[in-house]
Structure 1
Amino acid sequence: MTSSRISALGLDIGRKRIGVAGCDGTGLIATGLMTLERRSFAQDVEILRQLVEERQVELLVVGLPYTMGGELGSQAKQVQKLANRLSHALQLPLEYVDERLTSVQAEQLIQSERRSPSRHKSLIDRKAAAIILQRWLDERRLEAQRRETLTDCH
């Protein structure tokens, strides 16, 4: 199986914070990196730009909060608006992942570590970003395997 190196940042964009995750170069494992307390757009971009340079990031993967019915609500539209601005400012391509229930999953992980979710909101954001990025990495790997299987069949 051919796998190219990938460096992506996963973002869980909220009104007050942005959870940030990165992946190892192999694209197998996503890890929470930091939680950015949102200030001004320019300051947020500057912090993300440093991460992008350090990690040689090639792509932003942003969680999109669809409604449970699968529609794009007002929160999803706000996320898209900011994600597009970040993508443009950082000059990086952008992909979205359905992030429904990622915060719930992150909270459950934190509770399993015997921590109180209400006291660890920034940790939840960081773990949610890692879950978002992991979903994208897993999908990408599955897609590559499907293509390879099809190639082998022909």
Structure 2
Amino acid sequence: MQPSSLKLPILALDVGLKRIGLALCIEGIILPLEPVLRRNRNEAASKVKEVITLKQAKILVLGLPSDLGMCKGIKHFASLLDFEGEVYFINEDLSSKEASELLLDRDHKARANSRKDGRLDSLAASLILQRFIEQNA
């Protein structure tokens, strides 16, 4: 990838079974977005497509775990997005743990709420996006 591509809107996804964390990078600034709460695959894909369109994402980055079973599901989810831009997969191992560590200054209830409402997942998506940028800068 060319460094100039990093100036394009890049959307990162941390795809889970219950929530999809989202983060956007514009001009080198990474912002966690409102997560998508997942009821079923197709509805979640539709909501993510809306975000892609709204944010005019040109590059899509999806976190892939080491667990091969999960990888298959994430790649299938990516195919449901019908994204015409560039798609990259990046190792997401420990991104949720790192995101949790960033919230250690908050009380237990606030950390639990972050997990439940998906903000933790969007923070993990931000870390995945940062890894991607660092590897491609």
Q: TM-score, normalised by structure 2?
A: 0.84
| Alignment RMSD | 1.9
Note the C-alpha offset of 1:114: 4.1
Q: Which has the higher contact order (CA 8 A, sep 6+)?
A: 2
Aligned twin of 2:119: 123
CA–CA distance in 1 between the matches of 2:48 and 2:23? 11
Q: Distance in 1 between matches of 2:104 and 2:80?
A: 34
**Residue 35 of structure 1 aligns with which residue?**
35
Distance 2:101 2:50 in 1: 31
The letter of the residue matching 1:56 is Q
Q: How does 1:5-154 map to 2 (within 5 A)?
A: 5-24=7-26, 26=27, 28-66=28-66, 72-86=67-81, 89-114=82-107, 116-121=110-115, 122-141=118-137
Conserved? CA contact 2:45–2:80, under 8 Å: no
CA distance in 2 between counterparts of 1:59 and 1:50 reads: 15
Aligned residue type for 1:42: N
Identity across matched positions, percent? 28
Larger CA Rg, structure 1 vs 2: 1
Kindly provide the CA deviation profile for residues 60-114 of structure 1, in whole angstroms up to 9, marking residues without a partner as x.
Answer: 1000011xxxxx521222222222332xx23333101111110010000111344
Residue 69 of structure 1 is matched in structure 2 by: none
Distance 1:117 1:107 in 2: 8
Cα contact 1:29–1:134 (8 A) shared by 2: no
Residue in structure 2 matched with residue 148 of structure 1 by the alignment: none
Label 1:81 to 1:45 Cα distance change in 2 as closer, same or farther (>3 A): closer
Match of 1:151 in 2: none
Measured after TM superposition, the shift of residue 119 of structure 1 is 2.5
5+ residue gaps, structure 2, are: none
CA distance in 2 between counterparts of 1:78 and 1:42 reads 13
* Greater mean deviation of Cα atoms: 53-62 or 125-134: 53-62
Counterpart Cα distance in 2 of 1:81 and 1:54 = 23
- 1:120 Cα deviation after fit: 1.4
Mean Cα displacement is larger for which, 40-49 or 129-138?
40-49
What stretches of structure 1 of length at least 5 have no aligned partner? 67-71, 142-154
Partners of 2:122 and 2:87 lie apart in 1 by 19
Residue 42 of structure 1 deviates from its aligned partner by 3.3
